[in-house]
Amino acid sequence: MSQMKRSVRVAIAAVGSLLLAASCNANETASAGGAQVAASAAIDTAAISANSPASSNWLTYGGSYNSNHFSALKKIDTSNVDKLGLAWTYDLNTTHHGVESIPVVVDGVMYVTAPWNAVHALDATTGEQIWSYDPRVPRSVARKGCCDVVNRGVAVYQGKVFEATFDGRLIALDAATGKLVWSTDTLPDGNHNYTITGAPLAANGKVIIGNGGAEYFGARGYVSAYDAQTGELDWRWHTVPGDPDKPYENAAMEKAAKTWDPKTKYWKQGGGGTVWQSFSYDPKLDLLYFGTGNADPWDPNSRGGPKYDSLYTASIVALKLSTGKYVWHYQTTPADMSDYDSDQDLALTSLKIDGESVPVIMNANKNGFFFVLDRRNGKFISAENFTPANWATGYTKEGKPILTGLGQSGKPFETIPGPYAAHNWQAASYSPETGLAYIPAQLIPIVMAPVGNDPESKGKAGGINSGNGWNTGMQLVGGGKTTPFGRLIAWNPVTQKQAWAHDYPAPWNGGTLATAGNLVFQATADGRLVAFNAQNGESRWESSLGQGAIAGPITYSVDGTQYVTIAVGWGGSAGQSFSATDRQGPGTVFTFALGGKATPPEFAKRKTAPLLSGVAYDPKDVAAGTAVYLNNCAICHGTPGQNKGGSVPNLGYVDAAIIKSLGSFVFNGPYVSNGMPDFTDRLTQDDVTKLKAFIQATATAVGKQ
């Protein structure tokens, strides 16, 4: 095999890197429109705590502090769900980025966010805009995020709307007018690639937020609490220890430091453990619950080997909300090597365990196991895998994983689940009526290999995926043996067994909503909103959304009418480089009601161009271009020609004139205003020449397959 062909085939197996950055649009303004409707200032901790699931409102990201994504509304049920029709739609004025927002609804007003953090207040019965606010997130920060410029929503509390922006600000808006009340920078400095995509939680006069960035050099995870009235920092708790030559912030950090190898100087890399998803809260215990992200770098051998657990990464943590003091933790994946964050939703409920009602916290983890813990003390109760897993065979009764030794051979290996996760951030729901959890499960296998001494893969401040530690390649672009899937799983947390499941044509489907109408709703990668009988999984209804959807649905009621809403827009980490439908539309809010007769928007079909051809290149440049592409382009654009692209164009299908003049696009090009990074300070003209060679050679090789 020639060196050029070998380089191209290796690239096809290794490109499609899992952590995807991205880009879109915004400006700092608040514009009012329609009747001014104030959110009730009475929405406080007591109101949210007392809020019955039968309430007409949807008061937090997870529906309530318990994050069950469940509603006891039941005017829409299995007997009439087939009468659901479109009530209204609202254009979020954004394209080419994932819409991950779960709206909050208070007293007939809906608050929903778009990529680049635009906040929209809408009449929840008509979709008419009341006001909108754009925080003007600089497009240049798109390069600092691993997984698209997304946002998962807001918190509404005491007459204010709280949002955390992609560039690290926490802002408070007047809920009635959308005017800015205060803004505070949550980041320690401007030198690290911290970003925020999660929804904040507000309780007891505080607003809680974390951030992302553990795939980038220098990120040290933390959670912060701010005064809801003033925006002043109340407390901050780091998730991993800092420089051991400096005093530890608290006893928890001193304890954690014993689980890191000091010879690796882990504090210089940062450590990772970022808290990038939302939170759960138990007001009676005053315990705030959150999951932490991966260690930095991923490869545990770079952190001293499997004997170092790297606390408190890949863990579930409980703090006192009032003080920020550590109470307990449980590490779901000690010495994590495969990006098995524990940031997924943490559902709170009570389960009958050995005849006793136990307050529990449940987590359908990225690593493929469903965990049940006593939320009072973090005691391990049970864990079983809900998808295949080749890294562990199970857990001991003490809650320790039984490892298979995967990744310790020094050779490439396929990790199952892959870093895209068995269950990612997409909301899982739990119904106390059926006793089942509903998990948007998937399998996107990844082939990983040690980076060795490859200087292009070494961590450096600001480098894309510099916290990775592995050379990665998606199963979808070759290299793996396992077939990807997307699946809705109904899971019994007491017996730790599957009750029923429904398979989808592709992975990366949306979050779930369970209701007392014996229904489970979910949006799909192939562009539908579907409803199932929650008890037995029978399909009951579906409606076209015109494009893939990844957010979770909600339901609410106004003047006796129950509505179901989903914010739609294809993207997110996986969605940027592949899609399950050839349709692409603007970010849109779809709202349904019984008897709805609104006209759906007409999303034009996306036409795929022919494979790239006609770009001259020197075959000697292909190998070097591979490294340049992997480190700078693959996270958004995937493998040239290998797939037809997701929300970001695949460079194997663009016009040849674009690749021939690639420098004019790479160096402060026309798409910078839409969030494409400016590579002026990162790449040279020689790098661009090598990129052209890799892109054309790879597209050509794909055409010959």
Per-residue pLDDT reduced to its tens digit, 340-396: 999 999 999 999 999 999 999 999 999 999 999 999 999 999 999 999 999 999 999
Cβ(311)–Cβ(335) below 8 Å: no
pLDDT of residue 180: 98
Q: Show me where the domains of the chain are located.
A: 3-14+610-703, 29-594
**Does position 32 have pLDDT exceeding 70, yes or no?**
no
249: left (phi over 0), alpha (psi -120 to 50) or beta: alpha
pLDDT of residue 676: 79
pTM for this structure? 0.83
Q: Per the residue annotation, which of 148, 234, 299, 339 is the catalytic one?
A: 339
pLDDT of residue 222: 97
Place of tokens 């929405």: 43
Lookup: tokens for 221: 């995870």
- 704 — pLDDT class (breaks 50, 70, 90): low
Give the residue ranges of DSSP H helices in 262-378.
266-269
**Does position 39 have pLDDT exceeding 60, yes or no?**
no
pLDDT of residue 455: 40
What is the DSSP secondary structure assignment for residue 342, as one 8-state letter? -
**Does position 601 have pLDDT exceeding 60, yes or no?**
yes
Cβ(492)–Cβ(427) below 8 Å: no
Lookup: tokens for 128: 């008419």
Q: Which one has a higher pLDDT value, 300 or 14?
A: 300
**pLDDT tens digits for range 386-400:** 999 999 999 999 999
pLDDT of residue 695: 86
- 45-59 in b/e form (b: 16+ CB < 10 A) is bebbbebebebbbbb
Place of tokens 């957010």: 551
> How far is it, in rounded angstroms, from Cα 240 to Cα 296?
10
Question: For residue 528, what are the contacts with CB-CB under 8 A and spacing of at least 6?
Answer: 542, 543, 544, 545
Average pLDDT in the chain: 86
pLDDT of residue 54: 59
- Enumerate helices (H) and strands (E) in the chain, giving the number of each: 10, 39
Which of 492, 499, 370, 509 has the alpha carbon at shortest distance from 444? Answer: 509
Which of 384, 393, 399, 397 has the alpha carbon at shortest distance from 416? Answer: 393
**pLDDT tens digits for range 78-107:** 999 999 999 999 999 988 889 999 999 999
Torsions phi, psi for 269 (to 5 deg) = -70, -30
Is 150 in a helix, a strand, or coil?
coil
pLDDT of residue 462: 39
3-14+610-703 and 29-594: same fold?
Answer: no
CA angle (485, 490, 493) in 5-degree steps: 120
Least confident span in 17-21, 427-431, 660-664: 17-21
> How far is it, in rounded angstroms, from Cα 532 to Cα 518?
8
Share of residues in the chain with pLDDT > 90 (%): 61
152: left (phi over 0), alpha (psi -120 to 50) or beta: alpha
Architecture of the domain spanning 29-594: 8 Propeller (2.140)
- 315 — pLDDT class (breaks 50, 70, 90): very high
Least confident span in 425-434, 478-487, 594-603: 478-487
pLDDT of residue 507: 92
- Long-range CB pairs of 534-539 (<8 Å, 24+ gap) are 534/431, 534/433, 534/434, 534/436, 534/438, 534/490, 535/434, 535/436, 536/500, 537/488, 537/490, 537/499, 537/500, 537/501, 537/502, 539/502
- Active site includes 123? no
Is 110 in a helix, a strand, or coil?
strand
pLDDT of residue 453: 44
What is the DSSP secondary structure assignment for residue 141, as one 8-state letter? G
Q: Which one has a higher pLDDT value, 468 or 461?
A: 468
**Does position 37 have pLDDT exceeding 60, yes or no?**
no
Cβ(330)–Cβ(374) below 8 Å: no
Which of 46, 28, 37 has the alpha carbon at shortest distance from 119? Answer: 28
Compute the half-sphere exposure of residue 482: CA atoms within 13 Å on the CB side of its CA. Answer: 19
**pLDDT tens digits for range 207-255:** 999 999 888 878 899 999 999 999 999 999 999 999 999 999 999 999 9
At the topology level, CATH places domain 3-14+610-703 in: Cytochrome Bc1 Complex; Chain D, domain 2 (1.10.760)
Average pLDDT over residues 181-205: 90
How far, rounded to the nearest angstrom, does the alpha carbon of residue 527 sit from its chain's CA centroid? 19
Q: What amino acid occupies position 182?
A: W
- 25 — pLDDT class (breaks 50, 70, 90): very low
First and final C-alpha spacing in the chain: 15
**Does position 434 have pLDDT exceeding 90, yes or no?**
yes
Integer Rg of the chain from CA: 24
pLDDT of residue 572: 84
**pLDDT tens digits for range 626-680:** 778 877 777 677 677 665 555 567 787 788 888 888 888 888 888 777 677 888 8
Number of residues that make up the chain:
705
**Does position 159 have pLDDT exceeding 90, yes or no?**
yes
Task: Provide the strand spans (E) within 497-560.
Answer: 497-504, 512-515, 519-523, 528-533, 539-544, 554-558
